Amino acid sequence: MPQLRDSDVWVNQAVQAAGIGIWSWDIAHDRIEISESGLVLHGLTADKAVNYRAWLMTLHMDDQEPAHQAIQRTLDERTDYLNEYRVVHPDGSVRWISCKGRGHFDEAGNPSRLTGVLFDITAHKQAEQALKDQHLVLVHMARVSALGELSGALAHELNQPLTAILCNAQAGQRFVTQALPDGDELRAILADIAADGLRAGNVVSRLRGLFKKGEAVQQALNINALVEEVAQLLRSDLVIKQVSLLLHLGADLPKTMGDPVQLRQVLLNLITNGAEAMAASAACPRRLQIGTSLHDAYSLEVNVRDTGPGIAPQMLEQIFEPFITGKPQGLGMGLAISRTVVAAHGGRLWAENVPEGGAVLRFTLPIMTELDP
């Protein structure tokens, strides 16, 4: 019928103009029909028949098995098919494709056909990656800024073991010049040198872990160990600021999944903010308390409480906005980045005032489950 043919032509033209591909997989005969725009998206040509394997081989090697498993789930569970994957064209270029489909079944309940549409989402993925890269740069800049603020305390932290190493080395030199050096005393000196060297190495290692640049890495974390590590790193800085640090860490807490570098930064921001809030206050004594506990059946809570002047009620939410800061030379990005990092880990970060005085910042992290990698 002419009208029907005209309608098909119009639909095909509209689909092609929109950059959408239409596909249909005849499962029984293993034959895939793809519209012209869909062939272009997959780097295929109309002169070659396409079966399931030929289609699968156009995908990026890392995406082939996940795509196959997603299709199998669709057919086994009779759910809609939705997947994103990369296609590698013959010229080596890579396109991101969003594929949506639905299974069709015969009277016996066996899968007979899978049909759907394809969308080119390359531009969206590139923009998403660019935004992610910018966020990583901003997070790294914030860590480097914090390093500058802590440089004096970190130098003191390193000077202590290095000075001890120098003193012990000089003592050892004097012992070996003696006619009959005391072997036990010399061994004790060498043991002290080794211990102080290890201590200095641990400081450098913690610094490298905190300020290194790179992609987020998810791994199983002991939140108490993470808190203790950051507290040890900031110990000298807090002493200089005349702040006493108290740790109230919950016992036998389950693990969480997260990036240790990013979560160290969150703790660093909250601890330094609390210490600086008390530095501007006449409150005495200056106490900073870090606690960990179960928040509920699904998440852990970390809280950092100070004895400063508290936060103005209208500012309890605004302090998490970019460029809002109470520091004379602050960037106003620490808490904004911290909230973003916590949200990316599946938790939330908020502030409260304490009735007895001071403020507490709390954040939650999901408890690691058996399904986590």
Whole-number Å distance between alpha carbons of 303 and 254:
17
Is 151 or 194 the better-scoring residue by pLDDT? 194
Does the pLDDT value for residue 125 go beyond 90?
no
pLDDT of residue 331: 46
255, 199: one domain: no
pTM, whole model, 2 decimals? 0.50
221, 349: one domain: yes
Dump pLDDT digits (tens) for 8-36. Answer: 454 455 455 556 888 899 998 999 988 88
Number of domains in the chain: 3
Q: Mean of the per-residue pLDDT values for the chain?
A: 79
pLDDT of residue 254: 95
60, 37: one domain: yes
191, 247: one domain: no
pLDDT level of residue 3 (50, 70, 90 thresholds)? very low
Does the pLDDT value for residue 210 go beyond 70?
no
Does the pLDDT value for residue 120 go beyond 50?
yes
Among 214, 229, 248, which residue terminates a domain?
A: 214
172, 252: one domain: no
98, 11: one domain: yes
237, 294: one domain: yes
Tokens, residue 107: 């009277």
Query: In whole angstroms, what separates CA 232 from the centre of its chain?
Result: 23
**CATH code of the domain covering residue 109:** 3.30.450.20
pLDDT level of residue 188 (50, 70, 90 thresholds)? confident
**CATH code of the domain covering residue 303:** 3.30.565.10
Among 158, 180, 214, which residue terminates a domain?
A: 214
pLDDT of residue 218: 79
Does the pLDDT value for residue 256 go beyond 90?
yes
Which residues span the domain enclosing 144?
129-214
**CATH code of the domain covering residue 189:** 1.10.287
SS (H, E, C) the chain: CHHHHHHHHHHHHHHHHCCEEEEEEECCCCEEEECHHHHHHHCCCCCCCECHHHHHCCECHHHHHHHHHHHHHHHHHCCCEEEEEEEECCCCCEEEEEEEEEEEECCCCCEEEEEEEEEECHHHHHHHHHHHHHHHHHHHHHHHHHHHHHHHHHHHHHHHHHHHHHHHHHHHHHHHCCCCCCHHHHHHHHHHHHHHHHHHHHHHHHHHHHHCCCCCCCEEECHHHHHHHHHHHCHHHHHHCCCEEEEEECCCCCCEEECHHHHHHHHHHHHHHHHHHHHCCCCCCCEEEEEEEECCCCEEEEEEEECCCCCCHHHCCHHHCCCCCCCCCCCCCHHHHHHHHHHHCCCCEEEEECCCCCEEEEEEEEECCCCCC
Tokens, residue 94: 């890579």
Among 152, 182, 214, which residue terminates a domain?
A: 214
369, 222: one domain: yes
pLDDT of residue 63: 92
Cα separations (Å) of 12 from 6, 15, 35, 36, 305?
A: 10, 5, 8, 9, 63
Does the pLDDT value for residue 370 go beyond 80?
no
Tokens, residue 26: 């005849």
pLDDT of residue 357: 85
- The percentage of residues in the chain with a pLDDT greater than 70, rounded to a whole number, is 71
Amino acid at 224: N
94, 19: one domain: yes
